[in-house]
Structure 1
């Protein structure tokens, strides 16, 4: 199963690499696009849950690393949730 990382820039300017065990992220995000924090959190939840389920379908168990990544995204995003104009940028995909 091909894995990938997607690099994001948070509203405070910090950048982080996020892991996905599947290329499904490409169906939910576009490099160069910005998303509201709430939209980014929702799309991340859908995409990383789907990626984890693809692992389950192939190997019989969910991807704990994808679910851990989702938890990390939620924790970071919670800092900015109250800021109505806060945006998250998708900088790049790496395969």
Structure 2
């Protein structure tokens, strides 16, 4: 299964590199786009849940790394007070 990473810049200026076990994240996020926090959270939840389910379909168990990526995103979202998340790069 192809893996990918997405580089993010948060409203507070910090950056992250998020893992996905499939290319599905690129179907939900666009390189160079800026997303309001709520929309970014929704898109990330949908994408990483779908990615984990693809792993389950292929191997019989969900992807723990996708769950960890989503947990990290959720924690970051909780610390932001407003603004947008910028998708700086999609790395395939």
TM-score, reference length from structure 1: 0.94
Where do 5+ consecutive residues of structure 1 fail to align?
Answer: none
Partner of 1:88: 85
Consecutive aligned runs of 4 or more in structure 1 exceeding 2 Å deviation? none
1:44, distance to aligned residue in structure 2 (A): 0.3
Return the alpha-carbon distance in structure 2 between the equivalents of residues 58 and 25 of structure 1.
Answer: 18
CA-based RMSD = 0.7
Where do 5+ consecutive residues of structure 2 fail to align?
Answer: none
1:26, distance to aligned residue in structure 2 (A): 1.1
Partner of 2:54: 54
Partner of 2:43: 43
1:21, distance to aligned residue in structure 2 (A): 0.1
SS at match of 2:61: coil
1:1-95 aligned within 5 A: 1-80=1-80, 82-83=81-82, 86-95=83-92
For this pair of structures, how many residues does the alignment match?
Answer: 92
